[in-house]
Chain A
Amino acid sequence: AQKITQTQPGMFVQEKEAVTLDCTYDTSDQSYGLFWYKQPSSGEMIFLIYQGSYDEQNATEGRYSLNFQKARKSANLVISASQLGDSAMYFCAMRPNNAGNMLTFGGGTRLMVKP
């Protein structure tokens, strides 16, 4: 069974600084996908970034980048130049190689940006 671990239940970062949110995963699949979602207090789930297991380059989307280390099975999210609006819950998820494309989510990290 797949497992996603986010070891940081909560983190603080100063506005305009960069922050790394950790995510490790466990799978025996060779092909899989990794995702990060942001959940503000409104509850909506906002897609941030995707990394395929065969992608050789780290994914980037604006201020978000995914630090993918396949051998270590880690997929950390890096947010550059933090903004107050970045304060939210962040979830790492993995899509294993199955017919249902079911995503397994980690327990989340609450990020708080200080002014």
Chain B
Amino acid sequence: SQTIHQWPATLVQPVGSPLSLECTVEGTSNPNLYWYRQAAGRGLQLLFYSVGIGQISSEVPQNLSASRPQDRQFILSSKKLLLSDSGFYLCAWYKAGTSLEKLFFGSGTQLSVL
């Protein structure tokens, strides 16, 4: 079965420090992968998506970057965090199909930038 791992669960970082959040998927190959961010009490905002190794598309200009070094690995990074980068970050992969299509989410990372 397919699973998605995301870590860490919580992270507290000072302003100006670097960031690296990792996400890995098991049980599928060549998945579409996504990073979403959720501000407190708000909806999900798509940050990046990737349809293959080394292929990254950015939806929102920001202080973050993403990379996909391996087929089932997706990394969200920042060189210098800002206060506004605080939020709940969710990695996801998309299972296409007819009646079975859905977006599977990781358990999320709560990032607090202080």
Which residues of A line the B interface, CB within 8 A? 33, 35, 43-45, 47, 50, 52, 55, 91, 93, 95, 99-108
Question: Chain B residues in contact with chain A, CB under 8 A?
Answer: 32, 34, 36, 41-46, 49, 51, 57, 59, 88, 90, 92, 94, 96, 98-99, 101-105, 107-108, 110
Cβ B99 vs Cβ A50 within 8 A:
yes
Dominant secondary structure of chain B at its interface with chain A: strand
- Which of A43, A91, A100, A106 sits near B51, CB closer than 8 Å? A100
Q: Are A91 and B49 within 8 A (Cβ)?
A: no
Decide if A106 touches B43 in the complex (CB within 8 Å): yes
Q: Do the beta carbons of B42 and A107 come within 8 Å of each other? A: yes
A44-B107, A100-B49, A101-B94 given; A108·B102 CB < 8 A: no
Q: Which residue of A lies closest to B90 (CB)?
A: A45
Given contacts A50-B99, A50-B102, A52-B99, contact A101 B32 (CB under 8 A): yes
B9 (CB) vs chain A CBs: closest residue: A43
Query: What are 27 A-B residue pairs whose CB atoms fall within 8 Å in the complex?
Result: A35-B102, A35-B103, A43-B88, A43-B107, A44-B107, A45-B108, A47-B103, A50-B101, A52-B98, A52-B99, A91-B44, A93-B103, A99-B51, A100-B32, A100-B49, A100-B57, A101-B94, A101-B96, A102-B34, A102-B49, A103-B34, A103-B46, A104-B46, A105-B36, A105-B43, A105-B44, A106-B43
